[in-house]
Chain A
Amino acid sequence: KAGVTQTPRYLIKTRGQQVTLSCSPISGHRSVSWYQQTPGQGLQFLFEYFSETQRNKGNFPGRFSGRQFSNSRSEMNVSTLELGDSALYLCASSSTGTDNTEAFFGQGTRLTVV
């Protein structure tokens, strides 16, 4: 069974540009969550999508957005990139039921803003 796949693994962008990251969850999983990991702030929750709907959102500016497709694949977009957006972006995949406990993470996308 394939794990969570994030693409691309590495990205270098210039300040002011925008970027789109992709996450394909484990087959059958319908919940995808996104996290930002930086040395200063640690792991912070961005948002969660379930059945193409944003179900929860963390405390990030509106430049950070996401969406989920009918096949459960998710994308997140960051517009008007700032140097501080440089981070490892991780997505997590969970099964459908609210009783389900496990969240499985991908390898992440390392974004560098120059």
Chain B
Amino acid sequence: GEDVEQSLFLSVREGDSSVINCTYTDSSSTYLYWYKQEPGAGLQLLTYIFSNMDMKQDQRLTVLLNKKDKHLSLRIADTQTGDSAIYFCAERTSGSARQLTFGSGTQLTVLP
């Protein structure tokens, strides 16, 4: 079955890099996503990676995918206080269905 796991908490100092990790179990995952959720808000799509890629960079965000180990990470460079939020990784398996399976979310706290 599908299962996505993340560590619950991460604290970093402003200006440092943050690395949020995620593992998944479904080897048929085609796309893997990172979403951000601020208090009282919905989910904001940050970036995604296709399963045949191993890295994707988008401004301050770098996604690394190790398909062999089913490990996904999101690196945020020069982390700012505005980056404090919950970050969810999610997977989508092959087929036409748009079902996403989410991890439990990582609460990122950026300390001044």
Contact = CB atoms under 8 A, between A and B. Distances in A.
Interface of A: 4, 6, 31, 33, 35, 42-43, 45, 48, 50, 55-56, 58, 90, 92, 94, 98, 101-108
Most buried by B among A43, A48, A101: A43
Interface residues of B, number: 24
Contact of A102 (B45, B99, B102): B45
A43 B98 contact: no
Interface string B80-95: 0000000010101001
Closest CB pairs A-B (n = 5): A43-B102, A105-B43, A56-B97, A105-B42, A107-B42
Contacts of A33: 98-100
A41 to B, nearest CB: 9
Contact of B98 (A48, A90, A105, A108): A48
B35 A105 contact: yes
Given A55-B98, A101-B31, 18 more contacts: A4-B42, A31-B98, A35-B100, A42-B103, A43-B88, A43-B90, A43-B100, A45-B101, A48-B97, A48-B98, A48-B99, A56-B97, A92-B100, A94-B98, A101-B50, A102-B48, A105-B42, A105-B43
